[in-house]
Amino acid sequence: MAIPIAPYAWHRNREGLGIWEGRGRVVATGVGTSPTARRWDEKPDTSMGALTIAAIRRAIEDAGITPDEIDGIVLTPESTTGVSNDPNAPAPVGWDSVFKMVDYPQAGITRGDIDWILLNMPELKNVEFKMNGPVCMSVAFTTAAEAVSRGLTKTCLVVRGWHNLAGRYYVGQGAAARDTAAGPGKYGSIWGMPACATTAMVFEEYCNKYGKSHEMMAPFIVEERRNGLMNPDGYYTQHRPEMITVDDYLSGRWIAKPANIYDNDLPIQAALAVIFTTPELAAHHKQKPVYILNHAQTRPELQGAVPALNEWERASDRMGRMLYEGAGIGPEDVSFENMYDGFTLFHQFHLEGLRFASRGEKRGYALDLYQTDISIEGPNPVSPSGGNNGNGRTRWWNHRDCILQIQGRSPSQISRKAEIGISGAHVPNYCDALVWAASAD
Amino acid sequence: MAFLISFDIDGTLEFGDPPGGITVEMVRRAQQRGFLIGSCSDRFPSAQRALWEAREIKVDFVAAKHMLPDIRSRFEATKYLHIGDRDLDQQLAEQAGFEFFWDHEGVAEPWLAWLDEHAD
């Protein structure tokens, strides 16, 4: 039977809904992160599926619980935004001697699959609640939060793996992959526009409107890499422990000016699993519970084929208002923000939507904020996780770090008290975000 | 008479990610035979420098890949060569007036023959 996705009504995508009914009734405890790799070497034990299993086992161990306590899984099945195999491509030779197979031949290779996980993790014998959180792990997190708050699962795994095959990430996609181009792609991607191009256009519009420049991004880029290199689980720490300088950043090759190569995140292989449960059950978990105060969602309502500045500002403003309304807090309560950064040039839209570290400004202040102390030691920690830019492309380092910060065990722990943090992904008008807190109040 | 070789890193040199076929020993040999050597890669320049230093090779230059024209203007040479594994390497090399070898062609060290061809 096909794994369902969350009903539309679960997503908090309107203002005026009031305090979230599940506020303070769902917590995160255990976190498990797999090893990382730049690309898959086609061996079963380094596959996305194997990494996913490793992450799940680490999360269960980290929570200090037993596998039979897990009664639910929410998973993001898509494991790349880049190149994948044909869905019907057979598994490589030797695969079936390591893993049991479901009907879908690419399960565990280029697509996450709950049934494949359960078949290969017999210790998860009590899972009854199964749901997919499509496209982004943010959706898996919000879906799992709703599922726990509604009593559909008591101890739930939230899971996402990423694969990265040999070759180039976006080669053979878009216009290059089709005989004809249809849908919005016929306007946006027919000439092979790189993925960061739309972000670059909106960023250019932002700079023109507020009198900013690409050079002003440099402190943020440097700080993110610094934070990422503190993370022993990050790709760069494990494989390329290279610190970037302002000069390095400014020397980058334009991919779609004003987006350069270092504004683009590096695709990797990795997996993350997190344990969600109730505050009552978390009492016997090893890790401090991190409360979810609210979640919210934006989806595109575009006037054209590509987003414009006013649309991204409107969407991220609305995200900020929805998050604060449902959590019963305001911008002044937020200790740190871990909004999405891959591409780096849209991070400031998220940040401004939250009014993070605003001194009354509404828009056009983030790049000025970047020129101040945004380090983890400072008063306004921006992206303390280091995000995709500091750790490799996953879209979940930011969520993971919100949990670890509030538990007081982040490798890039902020100096100020981490009481409330916000994470969300991905682009400003297609975003699912959560408010994480040290207490339910 | 000087010859200049620019190496791409990832997919070209043995310490790239992914590793390529050009070994550190080949680079050393070229340098010992008098070639000006360095790297032009999408790895940022300080990281390129660190990679060479870790192998105790003192290169003549490091630069972002699209800065090949700048390298050409900085060094006087009889021939300029870039070795890489991507169409982009070839495109940028040709635009900058460099000869180009694919990574798999480079493993035969064809540049060494230039020494004989240009011997007095």
Token couple for A85:
């195999």
Cα-Cα-Cα-Cα torsion A184, A189, A191, A194, nearest 10 degrees, comes to 160
- Of the candidates B17, B45, B86, the beta carbon closest to that of A251 is on B45
**A contact test, residue of B41, B44, B61, B62 with most A CBs within 10 A:** B44
**Cα A76 from chain centroid?**
11
For chain A, 441 residues long, give each residue's pLDDT as a single digit of tens: 799 999 999 999 999 999 999 999 999 999 999 999 999 999 999 999 999 999 999 999 999 999 999 999 999 999 998 878 888 899 998 999 999 999 999 999 999 999 999 999 999 999 999 999 999 999 999 999 999 999 999 999 999 999 999 877 776 555 555 667 777 666 666 666 788 999 999 999 999 999 999 999 999 999 999 999 999 999 999 999 999 999 999 999 999 999 999 999 999 999 999 999 999 999 999 999 999 999 999 998 888 878 999 999 999 999 999 999 999 999 999 999 999 999 999 999 999 999 999 999 999 999 999 999 999 999 999 999 999 999 999 999 999 999 999 999 999 999 999 999 999 999 999 999 999 999 998
CA distance A300 to A54: 35
With an 8 Å Cβ cutoff, is A226 touching chain B?
Answer: no
* Total beta-carbon pairs less than 8 A apart between chain A and chain B: 40
Question: Do A38 and B67 lie within an 8 Å CB cutoff?
Answer: no
Question: Do B17 and A251 lie within an 8 Å CB cutoff?
Answer: no
Q: ipTM of the predicted structure?
A: 0.91
B86 CB neighbours in chain A (<8 A) are 168
With an 8 Å Cβ cutoff, is A244 touching chain B?
Answer: yes
Secondary element (H or E) of residue B69:
helix B68-74
B66 CB neighbours in chain A (<8 A) are 253-254
The Cα of A251 is separated from the nearest Cα of chain B by a number of Å equal to: 7
CA distance A297 to A13: 5
Q: Which residues 82-141 of A are in CB contact (within 8 Å) with B?
A: none
**Cα B68 from chain centroid?**
10
B47 CB neighbours in chain A (<8 A) are 240, 242, 244, 248
Task: Provide the pairing of β-strand A270-277 with A27-33.
Answer: antiparallel
Residues 6+ away with beta carbon under 8 Å from A100: A116, A119, A120
Describe the strand order of the beta sheet including A270-277 as a list of residue ranges.
A129-132, A72-76, A155-162, A270-277, A27-33, A290-298, A431-437, A420-425, A336-339
Question: What pTM was computed for the model?
Answer: 0.95
